[in-house]
Amino acid sequence: MTGRRAARASLAGALLLTLLATGCGVRPSDVITGRSATSGPAVGVGLYLLSHGRLALVIRGTKGITASPEQTLGMLAAGPDEFERSQGLASEVPVGLVPATPVTATADGPGVTVTMTGAVRPLSAVAADQIICTVADALALAGQGDSFVPVTIAGPDGVRPPRSCPIK
């Protein structure tokens, strides 16, 4: 009888340990977005598009050609390609809003200024963040700054205040 009791106790203990071990796992979560790595060989350029209304880094292939920050912004201004749209990605950057001049360093600090061809004041905050994050990462990839540099967006209608990419 004591053997049977010991077997039941062992079985109960094993079940308890199994239940405790399975209850301590990693909980499921939504996709967590982050900044791109800015070192090493480039396989494409990073564009910040929108996934469910939130900034999402998308790597777009460049067929071995190194894209300048201006070319990268031009790709962003062209909007999501067919594959990206099929994945539910979108953009609030107006199609055709491209940099008018090269992305330049400001004279009064460590930031950069992007002068665009169209109006920048009516841009939504999300559209401005798409531009800011895309240009900051493009400059970092080109070795012309870091991905946390403040970016000022200028246009024929005025200037938006400098801001760093909100994704850390």
pLDDT tens digits for range 76-120 = 988 999 999 999 999 999 887 777 666 654 545 678 888 888 889
Q: What are phi and psi of 9, to 5 degrees?
A: -65, -40
- Give the per-residue pLDDT at 88: 95
- In this model, does residue 121 exceed pLDDT 90? yes
The whole-model pTM stands at 0.70
Pairing of strands 112-115, 151-155: parallel
First to last CA, the chain: 64
